[in-house]
Structure 1
Amino acid sequence: MGKRHFVLAAGGTGGHIIPAFALATELKKRGHYVALITDERGAAIPGTFEGDEKHILPAGRFTKNPLGWFAAAQNIWRGRAMARRLYESFNPEAVIGFGGYPALPAVLAALKDDIPCAVHEQNAVLGRVNRLLASQVDAIAAAYKQVGRLKDKYLGKTHLIGNPVREEVSILRSQPFPALSEEGIFRVLVTGGSQGASILSNVVPDGLALLPLSFRRRMQVTQQCREEDIERVRDRYADLAIPADLATYLPDLPERLGWAHIVIARAGASTIAELTTAGRPAILVPLPIATDDHQTANAREMEASGGARVIKQSHFTPAELAKQMQKLGLEPEALMNAAGRARNAGYPNATRDLADLVERLGQGLGGEAIPAGQPSGLRTAVQGAS
């Protein structure tokens, strides 16, 4: 097929950057060149796009305050002009947006220059930027069978892909679930996403304290905490005599996930993708202020499969956590079953399938979705919600 150029445009959070990075890794393996458009936060996320061409563009953000709309529009216009100049020299075959406001000027520039475009939606609800672009792009890559705010008229160009994950996580799928005997160490991984989550620091140690002493003595915890919470949480685990490794950032998260028996986490798109790829049972606490409550929607498939228990934040108390932990963790066979069900809810070929879709963009993919069962492995999303 030959070497080709692709531009990936993503917002500055891990939820946007990580699937973009996974795609970039696959495209480079296939011999292509990749450039990233993002903001300063996205360019600084460790372990991603190191050595790759990166461009930081101004990107306006429309808030509820109309006073800022004019400045936001100006920044988007400036960003679009800068992206068009980049495309003159980089000459991309396609531009792929991963949502977030930094992706907007990049995709708008590609549309202006008649460069094929796709957007990838990580969440189970179509995000604001992707909603703005849905009518104009050539293809929409979805991570879930049901995508809220995706209009029915766009289903013909929507492909069920899943969320690409890092190679280190993909490798876990071929490894067995960590051995667990009734007397063996029980490893718990607690993560609140890239920013941490104080609610987990407040509730998890006290919830584990309510477990039977025989169960608690077997526990080993790894927990991501916000900086302002970490010493308090460390002291609490010490009081409980539970070995705990705490950090504000876990650079080796895939390795930690590999030996975890259960994960307590938010329900961000990347978290769900990693759990279902690796096959790890979870207790999920969706972020209640997430736009369109998309984290609750993200957790729906994994919960329905039996791979996760979902607790609303308003109900997330030490007593409720202890109850769910005992249901999942006290019997090794039940935990193994939950792990298998989590694994069955995953989309392990998401990175490959998205790369296939991207390669086809420059070859006149057009607006027709690829039906299930085609050699590419792409699957058509079956339901949207207007």
Structure 2
Amino acid sequence: MRVGVACGGTGGHVLPGLVVAGALKARGHDVTLWLAGKTIESEIARRWDGALEMVPAAGFQEMSLLSSARAALSLFRSFCECRRRMKVHPPDVLLAMGSYASVGPALAARSLRVPLALHESNAIPGRAVAMLGPLAEAVAVSFPTAAPRLKGVRVEHTGFPVRPQIEKLAGAGRSWAGDFTVLVMGGSQGARILNESAPRAMALARVSAANLRVVHLAGPAWADRTRDAYSGLGIPAQVHGFFQDMALLYGRASLAVARAGAATCSELAIAGLPALFVPLPWAARDHQTANARAMAEGGAADMMPQALLTEERLAEYVVNVYKNPDDLQKMSAAGRRLAVPGAAQKIAELVERIGGG
């Protein structure tokens, strides 16, 4: 079966798309990735050894009339180019991972009568999935809370497809004995609020938690100054701009302090790693707050709005959970109850049913 996977735009769409594409390829299908040619895609695309199509597209990132018109024109051009290319060797089914870059391939597929499947990563559906939903045979969701917002659409709760090495953490044990390691991470580019607040907060917390250690993913632009901040405060910290082996960090950490992107929420749940989420307040449709709230209501995490985050409050929170390992154990167990292992295979099976393969 020929399968197209449209997953360009952002790392939060490319990475899960690549995981599902790999699962489909392993099941014997001929898979083509459809990307948008963005810089963030280049490193990820190098891991793919199958067919690849690059078609530029732009999203609606600003609300001005001019920027919206430009984005609409870009998407129309993307649709036309995708249709031209897809018409030569049409897939039997197309899976779109929900970014603006998937709109062109998805509309091209439907114009050629190719069945369409969608995946929505977040607890609140984004614009692309909301628009394309009525055209799709089914929408796979990571968070069950997304389903009621997709009216008149067949929805399946498949979970979020994580990398195989993280999937292996699903059954791993977790202990809070020994060093208490806080993993601070703000996404691929880092989070300024965490980079500026965490060093001083950890210094305050270490007064009550002598064995506290820190691993901080600050983003490439912030790594040096964040490392200097910890060093100046005498805090034992490993600071990285980027770290490839996240499974290693999840396995060693005691607590995560993080943004609430869909990938982060899903990976922490599978790893059984308790978290304090500080959602990005200007994320589209405030989806990070919805993601964090779903995790918190499930007992797997706590949430602190960025507007309320201070060094003192962060330090107080860390000390509190440090002194209550039973609470951490309960959060870990709750995370694993929320997790959906095998998401990539579930989505692959859905694609096969839709494509008749």
Q: TM-score, normalised by structure 2?
A: 0.93
Aligned to 2:42: 44
Aligned to 2:230: 237
Q: Answer with 328-337 or 108-117: which moved more.
A: 328-337
Q: Aligned partners of 2:67, 2:324: CA distance in 1, in Å?
A: 55
Q: 1:270 to 1:258 in 2, by over 3 A?
A: same
Alignment pair present for 1:191 and 2:185: yes
Aligned to 1:252: 245
- Aligned structure 1 segments of 4 or more residues deviating by more than 4 angstroms: none
Q: Which amino acid aligns with 2:218?
A: C
Q: Which runs of 5+ in 1 are unaligned?
A: 365-386
Q: Aligned partners of 1:47, 1:193: CA distance in 2, in Å?
A: 19
Q: Aligned partners of 1:173, 1:47: CA distance in 2, in Å?
A: 26
Report the alpha carbon displacement of residue 220 of structure 1 after superposing the two structures with TM.
2.1
Q: Aligned partners of 1:359, 1:124: CA distance in 2, in Å?
A: 25
Instruction: Decide whether the 8 Å contact of 1:126 with 1:149 is kept in 2.
Output: no
Aligned to 2:25: 28
Instruction: Decide whether the 8 Å contact of 1:170 with 1:348 is kept in 2.
Output: yes
User: Pick from 52, 55, 61: which aligns with 1:54?
Assistant: 52
Q: Answer with 206-215 or 254-263: which moved more.
A: 206-215
Alignment pair present for 1:180 and 2:176: yes
Equivalent pairs counted in the alignment come to 355
Instruction: Decide whether the 8 Å contact of 2:8 with 2:41 is kept in 1.
Output: no
Alignment pair present for 1:210 and 2:204: yes
Q: Which runs of 5+ in 2 are unaligned?
A: none
Alignment pair present for 1:222 and 2:218: no
Q: Answer with 331-340 or 66-75: which moved more.
A: 66-75
Q: When you count helix as a share of all residues, which structure comes out higher?
A: 2
Q: Aligned partners of 1:38, 1:69: CA distance in 2, in Å?
A: 21
Q: Aligned partners of 2:202, 2:71: CA distance in 1, in Å?
A: 46
Report the alpha carbon displacement of residue 291 of structure 1 after superposing the two structures with TM.
1.1
Q: TM-score, normalised by structure 1?
A: 0.87
Q: 1:322 to 1:235 in 2, by over 3 A?
A: same
Alignment pair present for 1:9 and 2:3: no
Identity of aligned residues (%): 34
Report the alpha carbon displacement of residue 172 of structure 1 after superposing the two structures with TM.
0.8
Q: How does 1:296-315 map to 2 (within 5 A)?
A: 296-315=289-308
Instruction: Decide whether the 8 Å contact of 2:274 with 2:300 is kept in 1.
Output: yes
Aligned to 1:371: none
Q: Aligned partners of 1:311, 1:44: CA distance in 2, in Å?
A: 34
Alignment pair present for 1:350 and 2:343: yes
Instruction: Decide whether the 8 Å contact of 1:301 with 1:345 is kept in 2.
Output: no
Report the alpha carbon displacement of residue 149 of structure 1 after superposing the two structures with TM.
8.0
SS of structure 2 residue aligned to 1:35: strand
Q: Answer with 331-340 or 115-124: which moved more.
A: 331-340
Q: Aligned partners of 1:24, 1:204: CA distance in 2, in Å?
A: 37
Report the alpha carbon displacement of residue 117 of structure 1 after superposing the two structures with TM.
0.1
Q: Aligned partners of 2:161, 2:284: CA distance in 1, in Å?
A: 22
Q: Which amino acid aligns with 1:56?
A: M
Instruction: Decide whether the 8 Å contact of 2:58 with 2:74 is kept in 1.
Output: yes
Alignment pair present for 1:340 and 2:338: no
Cα shift readout 1:242-295 (whole Å, capped 9, x = no counterpart) = 221111111122221121111110000000010011111001000000111110
SS of structure 2 residue aligned to 1:140: strand
SS of structure 1 residue aligned to 2:176: coil
Q: Which amino acid aligns with 2:257?
A: I
Instruction: Decide whether the 8 Å contact of 1:143 with 1:162 is kept in 2.
Output: yes
Instruction: Decide whether the 8 Å contact of 2:92 with 2:114 is kept in 1.
Output: yes
Q: Which amino acid aligns with 2:294?
A: E
Report the alpha carbon displacement of residue 69 of structure 1 after superposing the two structures with TM.
4.2
Report the alpha carbon displacement of residue 47 of structure 1 after superposing the two structures with TM.
7.3
Q: Aligned partners of 2:176, 2:58: CA distance in 1, in Å?
A: 50
Aligned to 1:143: 142
SS of structure 1 residue aligned to 2:238: strand
Q: 1:59 to 1:195 in 2, by over 3 A?
A: same
Q: Aligned partners of 2:237, 2:206: CA distance in 1, in Å?
A: 18
Report the alpha carbon displacement of residue 85 of structure 1 after superposing the two structures with TM.
3.2
Report the alpha carbon displacement of residue 11 of structure 1 after superposing the two structures with TM.
3.2
User: Pick from 324, 337, 350: which aligns with 1:331?
Assistant: 324
Instruction: Decide whether the 8 Å contact of 1:11 with 1:99 is kept in 2.
Output: no
Instruction: Decide whether the 8 Å contact of 2:76 with 2:104 is kept in 1.
Output: yes
What is the CA RMSD across the aligned residues, in angstroms? 2.0
Report the alpha carbon displacement of residue 70 of structure 1 after superposing the two structures with TM.
4.3
Report the alpha carbon displacement of residue 48 of structure 1 after superposing the two structures with TM.
6.3
Q: Which amino acid aligns with 2:321?
A: L
User: Pick from 260, 265, 268: which aligns with 2:261?
Assistant: 268
Report the alpha carbon displacement of residue 75 of structure 1 after superposing the two structures with TM.
2.6
Cα shift readout 1:177-225 (whole Å, capped 9, x = no counterpart) = 1x332xx11122111111210110111111112225351x312211111
Aligned to 1:320: 313
